[in-house]
Chains A and B, each alone.
Chain A
Amino acid sequence: MSVLNPKKVIKTRLRRSTNFYSVMYYYIYDTFLNDKKYEKVIDRIKTRLLDFEIQGKHEQLTLLKNIDELIGDEVKKGANTVIVVGDDQTFLKVIDVVADNDVSLGIIPVGPNNRIAEAFGVPMEEAACEIIAARKIVKLDLGLANQKYFFTDLKISKNLDRLQVEKDRFQVVPKKTCQEVEIINFYMPDPKIGFEKKLKKISAQDGYLDMVVRAKNNNHKWLKKNKMAGKIDTVMTSDKFKVKSFEYLPLELDGYKIIKTPAEIQIKRDKLKVIAGKNRRKDIK
């Protein structure tokens, strides 16, 4: 457990006291935190939030509660900062409603899958409260596909030979050797592959989406079982893409939302306001 720095606390409290009536926090706890093993962690987080005097309304999600409706209602009541307590999935789940309501978003990472929080320089569990209290906000672009927002990427990996991607005045027709088409807003390196140099230019703050086409790895047939990502074959940048196909094809947004073709994909600049720490990834300014 990290030690509380009194100077920082006073500084934060002073800052907070000036914004006391303007900042209203709404904390949402993901369903998996109902598990008993997280009880102590949640208690420590709540205590820490009290220390920093950044209390607000706390809501525990259940399978019966709709996260969009909950946040929508609280925003109407005046909440302007949503803090999700959970993992990457929790963060990605609230993207749509947060972007539509123009509120700030923070994350207190709990659990194993927290690569987004790590990218934003937010430490695990109660240590994240200090970052939340400091309230350093960064603005990021979001992708919009058929009125659904996505933060990381949009993937198409089935029936690619029936697909057509239009950009400006030309169209891209994938061949049989094509394994996957991704349209990326925020690059999250796959832990199995590691950082890919060819994608180092991708930024969620440049006003562009990047289309990445991966080709099948013919040299490593024995790796097929592991579903390794193919090698990067094509990289293209644009603020707008159109995806068409002869029949309905599924497009996967952020790894969990599914939409169907045809789809018009565009970038929405500075649509997401996220609370980030000092140790955030270098491409997040």
Chain B
Amino acid sequence: MFKNNEDQEYTAYEQSGDDTMIGHSIKIEGDLVSSGSVVVEGEVVGTVKTEQTLKVGEKAKISADVDAKEARVAGRVDGNITVQDSLELDSTAEVNGDIQAGRLTIASGAVFNGRCSMSENASSAGSEKKKNERAESEESDKDTSEEID
């Protein structure tokens, strides 16, 4: 019976999921850098950087600057948060620091003390798009004027 269960688990073996999980029973001191997703339920002092998703649990306490692709915060973060895509602050979240994010969601009840700016990449990407559109329209105008001549 046990063997069957084990086989089923390994058949369902998947590469996706959380790569690093930090629980209540340890404290991390230093620079935590990961290429996979990170879940923090414990305490981190230093910096946290991930190329994937960061989840900060309700009881977690991070005294560090945070850099991630996506993040969801339900605990306490004392430091600046930089997120490329979306940042979600749950109702239990407490952030003391500046936020820079592409998209930001703050739930009712969340505490946020700091400045907030939307990601430069996102804004610059938007302005570039507009510039391209303008350039295209100008070119088409030129073409039509040349044809008229």
| A contact set with B: CB distance below 8 Å | 118, 168-175, 177-179, 189, 191, 194-195, 197-198, 200-201, 213-216, 232-237, 281-283
Contacts and interface: CB of A to CB of B under 8 A. Distances in A.
Contact of A234 (B19, B26, B29, B30): B26
Interface in B10-41: 10-13, 15, 17-33, 36, 41
Contacts of B21: 198, 232-236
| 4 residue pairs, one from A and one from B, having the closest CB atoms | A170-B30, A233-B23, A282-B10, A178-B25
B46 interface: yes
Nearest to A234: B23
Nearest to B8: A195
A59 B15 CA distance: 43
A188 to B, nearest CB: 10
B75 interface: no
A173 to B, nearest CB: 5
A173 B29 CA distance: 8
A179 B25 CA distance: 9
B6 interface: yes
Contacts of A169: 30-31, 33
Nearest to A175: B25
Nearest to A216: B25
B24 A281 contact: no
Nearest to A181: B26
Quick one: which of B20, B31, B36 has the most chain A CB within 10 A? B20
A169 B47 CA distance: 10
Nearest to A231: B23
A235 B20 contact: yes
Contact of B30 (A171, A179, A214, A232): A171
Interface string B45-86: 010000000000000000000000000000000000000000
Contact of A213 (B3, B17, B19, B26): B26
B5 interface: yes
A118 B3 contact: yes
Contacts of A236: 20-22
Contacts, number: 93
Interface of B: 2-3, 5-7, 9-13, 15, 17-33, 36, 41-42, 46
A277 to B, nearest CB: 14
Contacts of A216: 25
B25 A215 contact: yes
B23 A282 contact: no
A282 B23 CA distance: 28
A213 B46 CA distance: 20
B20 A237 contact: yes
A195 B11 CA distance: 13
Given A170-B32, A213-B23, A234 B2 contact: no
Nearest to A172: B26
B26 A237 contact: no
Nearest to B19: A237
B140 to A, nearest CB: 54
Contacts of B41: 233
Nearest to B3: A118
Given A200-B9, A237-B19, A177 B2 contact: no
B26 A174 contact: yes
Given A177-B24, A234-B23, A235-B21, A282 B29 contact: no
B31 A173 contact: no
25 contacts: A118-B3, A170-B30, A170-B31, A170-B32, A175-B26, A178-B26, A191-B2, A195-B5, A200-B13, A201-B13, A201-B15, A201-B19, A213-B26, A214-B25, A215-B24, A215-B25, A216-B25, A232-B23, A233-B23, A233-B26, A234-B22, A235-B20, A281-B10, A282-B7, A283-B10
